[in-house]
Amino acid sequence: MKIRSYAAGRLIRGTSLVLMTVVLASCATGRIDPTDPVGENAKQIDGLMRLSGYMAAAVGIFVAIAVVLVVVKFRERPDDDPDELPKQIHGNRKAELTWTLIPVVLLVFLTVVTVPAVFDLSGKGDGRTIKVEAQQWWWQFSYDVDEDGTSDIITANEIVIPVGEEVNLEILSNDVIHSFWIPQLNGKRDAVPGRVHHWRISSPVPGIFYGECVEFCGLSHADMQMRAVVLENDDYDAWVLEQLTPATVPTNDAAKRGYDLFGRHCVSCHVVNGVYESAADGNANLTSGYAPNLTHLMTRTSFAGSVFELYKDDGSVNVADLREWVRNAPGQKAARPENRQGMISFAETLSDSELDDLLTYLLTLGGPPPLMPN
């Protein structure tokens, strides 16, 4: 009875562990879904993964059946001689060649179908090019970069592309190694300091696709997210025209006070094209240690490394989270502002009325976005 109870207990614990694993796995992906490829590059990778998965499953089933057959065939019987051993096949050339050649053939087959795909995915296409810069802990995207390295359109954490066009990416890092991953549009691509890695993304349908950094890069790695916003061609052209429009000095009293506060407290890191372009005499390159270009902040759907939604479900601005972010960013997202990694706190610097004025100014910086999350 004790043996049966012990076995039943182990069965219950094992079943509970399996069920818990299934539940946790089903909750892991959230908006990031690598099982639902949309772009052609992502579908190519998904096909290879499924092929290798089916082959691995077939091998696993074969091995499981073989183990069961061996256990049944060579189980101990009451009339067996305990000193008798089964027939030994060590040195059996046919058997050893069989279990050696079958895995080799499978691996060679996978290599033949995988290597061309690797080179194809790494190649550069004929479409437009967007420069992708990773830094702790956010992403910067520069469009139509000139020969001198400048760009008239810069976004943070959201890359905007036209539907049906394969866009080239030039991926690099301004500090440590990161990894770019929007699984529904393509696979992972490392961002390495001092190197440029080429990648391509595309989508045949408009929508917002989610991604994140998948190379551990420090304190706030888990909060280094991104989005790809895919627009219809007319919407994309309209978005480009808006992004090329510089900001102006506001006329509203509260927004004007916020504009002045921005000039005193924010321009050492942030750029607003048209009014605050120098970013404290030289910081406009927005390299590691600096902050996102805010010229058209309100045309984006998220902020703080895409951790927070900029708009609520009803389309109104998420003022509460944006205000708290401006007031005390280190309390909202782990960072090291003392090391120029992340935004500093203004909790002891700005009064409530000054925060309201600064927020009023930020709300004038473009908007609304051309596409909202579902």
* The two three-digit tokens of residue 210, written as one number: 């989610």
| Domains of the chain with CATH codes | 33-122 (1.10.287.90), 128-374 (2.60.40.420)
How does residue 94 score in pLDDT terms, banded at 50, 70 and 90?
Answer: confident
Q: Are 168 and 127 in contact (CB under 8 A)?
A: yes
Determine whether 14 is exposed, middle or buried from the number of CB atoms within 10 Å of its CB (0-12, 13-18, 19+): exposed
pLDDT at 268 over 90: no
Confidence of residue 31 (pLDDT cuts 50, 70, 90): confident
What mean pLDDT comes out for the span 69-79?
Answer: 83
Strand-by-strand arrangement of the 178-181 sheet: 158-162, 225-231, 207-213, 178-181, 189-191
pLDDT of the residue at 225: 95
- Full-model pTM: 0.82
Torsion angles phi and psi, residue 178, rounded to 5: -120, 180
Does residue 178 carry a pLDDT above 90? yes
pLDDT digits (tens, 9 = 90+) for 338-360: 787 888 899 999 999 999 999 99
- What is the per-residue pLDDT for 50? 93
Mean pLDDT calculated for residue range 152-177: 94
**Residue 288 above 50 pLDDT?**
no
Rounded to whole angstroms, the Cα distance separating 343 from 290 reads: 9
